[in-house]
Structure 1
């Protein structure tokens, strides 16, 4: 099979730049820790967004807003009764991601993610 245009992931683009002899300081932006990308990708495609979509479809927009409020409550006071409890793995991942993304503008990250999702849908031929 011949591809007319190859689409590289962000990680491969970084490796390509590094292979040309450019150091990280010469790249436009240091890439976000891949585990954050994987976790967000899982959230979008691995089930969580599907559940959110079902709540909206079955109960409507108002119920979805109520669910978001409950979710905010659930994570608002972690490791206390009635709230989210961190596992050792989540604690370690949180520290790693926080260290790797200290200067990340999360709003800009989400804008970029939105563009990537649109491009992926176009490539898949979705209307």
Structure 2
């Protein structure tokens, strides 16, 4: 790949794979990309920002209260006052569930943590 262009990590990975690089490191099937997209959206867009805002404005104790409320909200899905599944969410759950069989979610989150650190380091190197 030319050095004067900036490629997204996804395109870089596809390029590397097309050259045969990185194939030996694949130990297990990767989780469906839509799970990655949803978690990244949560962390970097609206939802993650709201969590930070609650912590910064109301403090850590209030953030704990919000997590308890969130657990309550999703605890009795499709009942009054709780989360209601959309058709899209039901479809996404099926896709992700089938694609992620055998994935250790705690390990997935540890790898995500490492990837987020690498992304931040790369952004700093590029001056972003």
User: TM-score if structure 2 supplies the norm length?
Assistant: 0.81
Q: Aligned equivalents of 1:7 and 1:108: distance in 2?
A: 24
Mark the runs of 5 or more structure 1 residues left unpaired by the alignment. Answer: none
Look up the SS of the partner of 1:69 in the other structure: helix
Superposition deviation, residue 124 in structure 1: 1.5
Query: RMSD of aligned C-alpha atoms?
Result: 2.8
Mark the runs of 5 or more structure 2 residues left unpaired by the alignment. Answer: none
Deviations 1:30-86 (A, max 9, x none): 111001011011101121010000000000000000000000000011000110000
* Paired residues of 1:55 and 1:64 also in contact (CA < 8 A): yes
User: TM-score if structure 1 supplies the norm length?
Assistant: 0.82
Number of equivalences: 121
**Runs of 4+ in structure 1 over 6 Å off:** none
Higher relative contact order (CA 8 A, sep 6+): 2
